[in-house]
Amino acid sequence: MSTFPLKLWSTLGAVGIAVLASTPSLAAPAAQDVFPAETVFWLSLPDTPAFDEKFSRTQIGLLAQDETLKPFAEHIRRQSLDRLGEVRDTLGVSLDDVMSAAGGELAIGVAHREGKRAVSVLLIDPDGKRAEADALIRKVDAALTGRGAKKSTMNLGGAAGTVYQLPQDEDAKIDREDLVLFESGGLICFVETPAEAQAVLARIAGQGAPALSSNPAFDKTMQRCEQAYDGGPDARWFLAPFKYDLARRSREAKPALADKKDTLTILREQGFDAIEGVGGHVEVAVDAVKDFVHRTAVYAPPKAGAEGKPAKDRYELGMRMAETPNVATLDVERWAPRSTANYSTFSIDIQNGFENLESVFDAMSGYEGAFRYTLEGFERDEFGPQIKVREQIIAHLGDRVTRMADYQLPITTDCERFLFVIEATNPAALQDPIDKWMDTDGAILQEVRGVKYWEILPEDETAVTVPLGGGLISPIDSAASDPAEEEFLRRAAVCVHNGHLIIASDVEFLEQAVFGVDPTESLAGSYDYQAAMRELGQLTQQPRCSFSFTRNDETIRPTYELMREGRLPEGQTFFAQLLNRVLTTPEELEKSIVRRQRIDGSQLPSFELARRYFGPSARAVTAEDDGWFITGVVLNKAGQ
């Protein structure tokens, strides 16, 4: 069985989004020249067998072959990655099945159609694998006819097509599209709707409507990645995030509640759709040290006439907050402890962010004026802190924010903990308003080793969790929650000390930032951190606006342990929540039912046997005139 789906999970963790692709087989046209220009999600492999062989040499590839860890691999393969590109939903088969038929390029994607249901496209170059391709076609045929599909043939005007008309779901609000199978130009094509199948056929012949390669966002992201290194990638991918969200909605059986706007809708309306595309290249099994090297371009072109200007002038509404200046040095903090699972630091113009926050805050709150009323409440409410947030707090903050994430032993459903450290330009002036804020907010003044701090302890003792993963863009479930109803800090320890505003999930974490650690116990002095940053430094140079370091073994450990205990559906860790959002059925979500764990993890071995498959990773981000460029590396533990 191909290990591709588990491989893709690894790439998601390393890259922050699903990826794969490169150059085409000589016998067939390149997928980027065949997919429609309106494609909003695309991934492609140029030489599928070669990729498979390369991945098998990575540590995650070896994990997929470890029989003792089969339940863990199966959980990821069956429950999440088979949904990639809606392959199983569209064809009734898995990614493994599709992989087995590809001898050259394999590409899948989703194309957005304004006002209509988005369509899926899958292209396979079966070069040298004709028998396997025929087996795939038979399996798809059996799966679709088994679902009750009516089968017919049609002339596409250059190729004979087989059309599968699926019965409509009774509860579906949007009709399913017919699936068309045809072969042309050395490619096996599965395309939804006869009209789109004919358009794909025309592009294979070098005619017809514009292709994905003509999409400016796709072209810009691919060109930017190509500029970063010599040679061809093992994988390429592209995502138009906000248009993909619309495409995803068009394929949902049940539309979102009309009276509630989800996060992505709000961000789109707040100008964040200036991010027109995100695309990347991935190299696999680069050498004995590096399992993956990934490069990602975030394309957010400025509005006309605003080239080279600050974000507040380049963009509209909330997107004007995105001012992330590059700095010459962005070194790890000396107080960061060796045991940290994830360390991320950012250069961001906090003053500019605050000045352009109002429209986003109002939209998230659900009414105009919410931001202004909130600030007035802080200043004038007789029961409030009576402080001017802009003048007394924001004005005294610097431009560097550092975040660490970790977990406490023993592993529980809410064992993750966090630490935010914000640079303060005038800590003395910041102390009094913070004291007033904490005092009126019900916090308790405490002391640790002679240093005062405020502790927020809710009555229900519910702990906040922050993602351990180091993604630039965290996965967002549009229907998961109402942001306006969520509290940011329900449990925390807050302190102004040594030139920083420190916010931690618990006093122990706060204590490390306040008093630091011995150099021998610092993150900067740890071997894996040094190895990851050394490799990253060879791939990209300063200046940067952000960098991060992640111990992937420590990041995945809480999820693994909860699976062993059969408690993953209850988990509050980042990966547990991500999987729960993917796996929870609409009925369970609607009734607030905790989903049942579908795979028995009780036979999984100790995590100490699994951690060898998860090497450390590092990533650097550079701000550019038309977006950001991200370079990252995932190391092989055995090669360090």
Per-residue confidence (pLDDT) for residue 584, from 0 to 100: 42
Residue 410, preceding peptide bond in cis (omega within 30° of 0): yes
Q: What is the mean pLDDT of the chain?
A: 82
Q: Which whole number is the average pLDDT over 143-169?
A: 90
429-to-420, 497, 499 alpha-carbon distances in Å = 20, 12, 11
Q: Quick one: pLDDT band at residue 152, thresholds 50, 70, 90? A: very high
Residue whose token pair is 């618990």: 506
DSSP letter for each residue of 490-556: SSEEEEEETTEEEEESSHHHHHHHHH---GGGBSTT-HHHHHHHHHHHHH--S-BSEEEEEEHHHHH
* Residue 382: Cβ-neighbour burial (10 angstroms; 0-12, 13-18, 19+): exposed
pLDDT at 379 exceeding the cut of 90:
yes
Q: Which whole number is the average pLDDT over 417-425?
A: 92
pLDDT at 470 exceeding the cut of 80:
no
Per-residue confidence (pLDDT) for residue 23, from 0 to 100: 33
pLDDT at 294 exceeding the cut of 80:
yes
Per-residue confidence (pLDDT) for residue 180, from 0 to 100: 96
Could you say which DSSP state residue 234 is in?
S
pLDDT at 69 exceeding the cut of 50:
yes
Q: Count of alpha carbons within 13 Å of 503, Cβ hemisphere only?
A: 19
Tokens of 173: 């609000």
Per-residue confidence (pLDDT) for residue 415, from 0 to 100: 58
Per-residue confidence (pLDDT) for residue 573, from 0 to 100: 45
pLDDT digits (tens, 9 = 90+) for 8-57: 333 333 333 223 233 333 458 999 999 999 999 999 998 899 999 998 89
Q: Which helix (H) or strand (E) holds 281?
A: strand 277-284
**From CA 471, how far away is CA 479, in angstroms rounded?**
20
DSSP collapsed to 3 states, 530-549:
HHHHHHHHHHCCCCECEEEE
pLDDT at 281 exceeding the cut of 60:
yes
pLDDT at 175 exceeding the cut of 90:
no
pLDDT at 147 exceeding the cut of 50:
yes
Long-range contacts of 301-304 (CB under 8 A, 24+ apart): 301/220, 301/274, 301/276, 301/626, 301/627, 302/274, 302/625, 302/626, 303/274
Whole-model pTM: value is 0.85
**From CA 638, how far away is CA 522, in angstroms rounded?**
23
**From CA 242, how far away is CA 267, in angstroms rounded?**
9
pLDDT at 398 exceeding the cut of 60:
yes
- Residue pair 613/635 in contact (Cβ under 8 Å)? The answer is no
Q: Which whole number is the average pLDDT over 617-621?
A: 96
Report which of residues 542 and 618 the model is more confident about: 618
Residue 586, preceding peptide bond in cis (omega within 30° of 0): no
**From CA 16, how far away is CA 281, in angstroms rounded?**
13
Tokens of 431: 């102390």
Least confident of 219-223, 229-233, 533-537, 543-547: 229-233
Q: Count of alpha carbons within 13 Å of 214, Cβ hemisphere only?
A: 11
pLDDT at 283 exceeding the cut of 90:
yes
**From CA 353, how far away is CA 78, in angstroms rounded?**
41
SS3 content of the chain, % helix, strand, coil (to 5): 40, 20, 40
